[in-house]
Chains A and B, each alone.
Chain A
Amino acid sequence: MISVDDTVKFHFDVDGENFSSAGEASIIMKKSLRQLGFPQNVIRRVTIAMYEGEINMVIHANGGQADVEISPDEIKIVLEDSGPGIADVDLAMQEGYSTAKDNIRALGFGAGMGLPNMKKYTDSMEIETEIGVGTKITMTVKT
């Protein structure tokens, strides 16, 4: 038996070059959380938050890294990229605000709901960002 502070970790390289694979990590996480027997609403919240984050990294930052740490009472998602950074976090958190380009919008993304949804579906969300350096978002979902 493992002790309570034991965790299962997942690491994903989110490929910024390949738009068609965007969303892959959240689908793998969904399958794993299901195998671990987490309740459906937890699985849904984690996968939506992670999906939005993955898409953001692909659209804005040419990809990045996603790390998920599962412990029995909490799931922590850390998304880190070396993209342009977010100039005004408060503005970016507003529903409908987006800096996505037209070609991305044509695919149905860039509705300005990414960050707001990530906040909405998680229990905590912290954004660390620096212009020209990158962005790190840490989210947790209590199980």
Chain B
Amino acid sequence: MDIYKHSVSLDIEKCKGCTNCLKRCPTEAIRIRDGHAVIDPERCIDCGECIRVCPYKAKKASYDRLDVLNEYKYKVALPAPSLYGQFDNLDDVDIVLQGLLDMGFDEVYEVAKAAELVSSYTRKYLKNPDIPKPVISSACPAIVRIIHLRFPFLCKNIMPILPPVEIAGMEARRRALEHHPELKPEDICICFISPCPAKVSYVKNERENWKSNIDAVVSIRDVYFELIERMTRCESPTISTEAGMIGIGWASTGGESSAIFNDRYLAADGIENVINVLEQIENSDMPDLEFIELNACNGGCVGGAMTIANPYIAKARLQSLKRYLQVSPNFVMADEEIPQECFSEDEIKPNSAVTLLSDNRLEAMRMMAQIQELQDMLPKLDCGFCGAPSCNAFAEDVVKGEAKLEECIPLMRNLNRSAQQDGGNDEAGSIGGKT
């Protein structure tokens, strides 16, 4: 597997080695080793769940600092629609956009605008009779990644159209060069203001034959404090939003689905719920659906780990903000095709290497038999003292040679007790897999 650049990382100094993140990681990517958490880069989907639950703020998202912008001549802000929901008593999106200009951006290209184009492309794409249904949204990178890792059979259902943020980057770059033909491509910084670490990873990972149009990704949190003081001083904005209700609706779960203008959709959020839904789709135990919108964060993008406001409060604010906007000013005409450049070049390939016990089937079977044997022996407390999220995960770690059976403290204690009762018969040395 290619090396995937993650944007969720750990501050070892702050990590106490507690079990909060261990228990909450939806892909069991975390282990506690030598007193602190270790994230398995192959399993991590950058959902940010560990950032939210860490009581010591030891987990953090990596993204660009605002001063990276100083390196460029011409700066274009790409605000995520979730940014608009962060502010109390805001009644006009234009004030946010003006605030971005006042912060030093030369131009703003709203991701909400590109989202409306994606909605329009989606409606067109769904009319194609030859595509695998239900079509799964490609907007949330954590979802796309978990499908690669855990639901390989559903890879073909992922919509092959680029997510709004990337189309916004492409259009923003084109527009900047049109307005300012004197600029060289390297003078321009297309800067996405992101609600979550997963989108940072999406941008920062270059694939074969593909590089994102986005040059920098900053967090909503950092931008918020810069914006808020400028926004309070703003009286009459000189810029108006180019997005409508649909584009802004993408910020929370259900917004993207409602834009397909068809009630045969499902919209789910929260990574646990999403995994359940994916399990059921894979079992083909689903009503006849056209479209599935899945968001890793509670509430959708407004729940991203790099936002400020509570996701449900942000959603309520967005409802009133979008009330008097046009439905969707951005769309393609019925006779227009989806532009070829908006299709994802990425061939979505299932990646089973993460789940596989061994390349050799017989060896894998032998390991599985050992895992079962260990699982029967372990106390089933899922206490996490061993550093694995559950007894079952620990049994797998032991058989894979990544942990030692002695690390199971309850088991050792019980064996000690029975050894004392039986007059010393050390059973522990004779069981377990590789040590």
Chain A residues close to B by CB (< 8 Å): 1-2, 4, 6-8, 10, 23, 26-27, 30-32, 34-38, 40, 43-44, 47-48, 51, 70, 72, 108
Contact = CB atoms under 8 A, between A and B. Distances in A.
Residues of B in contact with A, size category: 20 to 34
A8 B369 CA distance: 6
Interface string B360-374: 011111101100100
A72 B279 contact: no
Interface in B269-283: 279, 282-283
B350 A2 contact: no
Nearest to B155: A40
A31 B355 contact: yes
B365 A70 contact: yes
Contact of A37 (B153, B279, B352): B352
B287 A108 contact: yes
Contact of A8 (B282, B284, B356, B368): B368
B284 A36 contact: no
A51 B281 CA distance: 13
A36 B352 contact: no
B282 A44 contact: yes
22 contacts: A1-B363, A2-B365, A6-B366, A6-B369, A8-B365, A23-B283, A27-B279, A30-B279, A34-B355, A35-B357, A35-B368, A36-B365, A37-B357, A37-B364, A38-B361, A40-B153, A40-B350, A43-B153, A47-B283, A48-B283, A72-B361, A72-B365
B241 to A, nearest CB: 42
Contacts of A10: 372
Contact of B372 (A8, A27, A36, A47): A8
A40 B365 contact: no
A43 to B, nearest CB: 8
B285 A35 contact: no
B277 to A, nearest CB: 13
B153 A44 contact: yes
Given A44-B153, A48-B283, A70-B365, 12 more contacts: A1-B366, A6-B362, A26-B283, A27-B279, A34-B356, A35-B364, A36-B361, A40-B153, A47-B282, A51-B283, A51-B285, A108-B287
Contacts of B355: 31, 34-35
Contacts of A31: 355
A37 B362 CA distance: 10
B303 to A, nearest CB: 26
Contacts of B358: 37
B365 A34 contact: no
B359 interface: yes
Contacts of B364: 35-37
B354 to A, nearest CB: 10
B152 interface: yes
Nearest to B285: A51
Contacts of A36: 356-357, 361, 364-365, 368
Contacts of B282: 30, 44, 47
Nearest to A143: B361
Nearest to B287: A108
Given A8-B369, A8-B372, A36-B368, A1 B362 contact: yes
